[in-house]
Amino acid sequence: MTTRFHSVLLLALATAGFTVPALAQTDHKMQGVAIAMPAAKAPDAALGEGLVKKIDKTKGSVTLTHGALPNGMPPMTMAYKVKDAAWLDQMKVGQKIRFATDPADDNMTVLRFEPVK
């Protein structure tokens, strides 16, 4: 009698033990998907378009005339710093680019860019 009771108890514990991690795992998976989806889309959605007006290698800056940006900046012409000074050699005055800026620097630094064809 006692032995049988223990078996049922163990079975119940074992079942509970398997059920809880299984649920937890499903939760983590769903959270992972929810977080991963916007993160994967963000980079391209965060790109604004600009026209290269001036390149100043001494100051390490590029002046861009840009349209309204995803970060909320209205259209304007302004000088940006660039994350990698070598990019100034890759940019050309009159070239259209798509670019992303660094929120940690009040969006005053170009974090990445790509030419628009």
Residues 6 or more apart whose Cβ sits within 8 Å of residue 53: 63, 64, 65, 77, 93
The alpha carbon of residue 114 and the mean position of all alpha carbons in its chain are separated, in whole angstroms, by 16
Q: Is 76 in the site for Cu ion (CB under 5 A)?
A: yes
How big is the site for Cu ion, counted in residues (CB under 5 A)? 3
Output the smallest distance, CB 82 to Cu ion, in A: 14
The one segment of 13-21, 28-36, 76-84, 92-100 that binds Cu ion by CB under 5 A: 76-84
Candidates 46, 103, 117, 107; CA nearest to 78 is 107
Q: Which of residues 56-75 bind Cu ion (CB under 5 A)?
A: 73
- Residue 12 or residue 76: which is nearer to Cu ion going by CB? 76
Q: Is 78 in the site for Cu ion (CB under 5 A)?
A: yes
Outline where 46-97 has alpha helix (H).
87-90
* Contact in structure between 77 and 65 (CB atoms under 8 Å): yes
Output the smallest distance, CB 100 to Cu ion, in A: 13
Output the smallest distance, CB 96 to Cu ion, in A: 16
Binding residues for Cu ion, rule: CB under 5 A, are 73, 76, 78
